[in-house]
Amino acid sequence: MATAARKTFDADPEPDLPACFRDQKYVEKLAREIGGVGPLGTADASPGQGADAPPATTPKPETDAQEKRSPELLVRTYVASTCDSAVFGPMVAAEAQKRNLMAAARGAFVGDGAAWIWKLQRHYFPGFEEIVDFLHVLGYLCAGAKAVVAEPTGRWALYLEWAAACWQGKVAQVIEQLRGFQQRLGALPAEELEDLPTDDPRKLLAESLGYLEHNEHRMDYPRYRKEGLPITSSHMESTVKRFNRRVKGTEKTWGQAGAEQILQLRAAYLSEDGRLDDHQRSQPCSPFRNYKARKDTEAA
202 located within any domain: yes
Q: What's the pLDDT band for 135 if we cut at 50, 70, 90?
A: very high
Does 59 score more than 70 pLDDT? no
**CA distances (Å), 137 to each of 15, 78, 114, 153, in order?**
17, 25, 12, 20
pTM: 0.81
Number of domains the chain contains: 1
Does 247 score more than 90 pLDDT? no
| Rounded average pLDDT over 250-254 | 80
32 located within any domain: yes
Q: How far apart, in whole angstroms, are the C-alpha atoms of residue 7 and residue 73? A: 12
Q: Which pLDDT value is given to residue 52?
A: 36
Q: What's the pLDDT band for 249 if we cut at 50, 70, 90?
A: confident
Q: How far apart, in whole angstroms, are the C-alpha atoms of residue 100 and residue 107? A: 11
Does 234 score more than 90 pLDDT? no
> Would you list the DSSP string of 169-183?
T-HHHHHHHHHHHHH
Does 11 score more than 90 pLDDT? yes
Q: Which pLDDT value is given to residue 292?
A: 54
173 located within any domain: yes
129 located within any domain: no
Q: Give 159's contacts (C-beta < 8 A, 6+ positions apart).
A: 27, 40, 141, 142, 145
Specify the pairing of strand 2-5 against strand 129-132: unpaired
Q: What's the pLDDT band for 94 if we cut at 50, 70, 90?
A: very high
Contact at 8 Å (CB) between 181 and 205?
yes
Does 287 score more than 90 pLDDT? no
Does 47 score more than 50 pLDDT? no
pLDDT one-digit tens code per residue, 264-286: 989 999 999 999 888 887 777 66
283 located within any domain: no
Q: Give 97's contacts (C-beta < 8 A, 6+ positions apart).
A: none
Residue 108, SS3 per DSSP: strand
pLDDT one-digit tens code per residue, 67-83: 556 678 889 999 999 99
- Domain of residue 11: give its range: 2-64+134-226
Does 45 score more than 90 pLDDT? no
Specify the pairing of strand 2-5 against strand 72-76: antiparallel
Q: Which pLDDT value is given to residue 37?
A: 54
Contact at 8 Å (CB) between 202 and 184?
no
Does 58 score more than 60 pLDDT? no
**CA distances (Å), 63 to each of 82, 226, 283, in order?**
35, 17, 45
| Rounded average pLDDT over 25-49 | 64
Q: What's the pLDDT band for 198 if we cut at 50, 70, 90?
A: confident
Q: Which pLDDT value is given to residue 67?
A: 53
Does 291 score more than 70 pLDDT? no
Does 50 score more than 50 pLDDT? no
pLDDT one-digit tens code per residue, 150-191: 999 999 999 999 999 999 999 999 999 999 999 998 888 888
Q: Where are the alpha helices (DSSP H) in the chain?
A: 24-34, 64-69, 85-98, 115-124, 134-148, 152-167, 171-185, 190-194, 201-215, 221-226, 234-247, 256-270, 275-282, 287-299
**CA distances (Å), 9 to each of 132, 136, 220, in order?**
21, 25, 15
88 located within any domain: no
Length of the chain: 300
Nearest in space to 142 (alpha carbons), one of 240, 35, 244, 48: 35
Contact at 8 Å (CB) between 117 and 12?
no
Summary mean pLDDT of the chain? 84
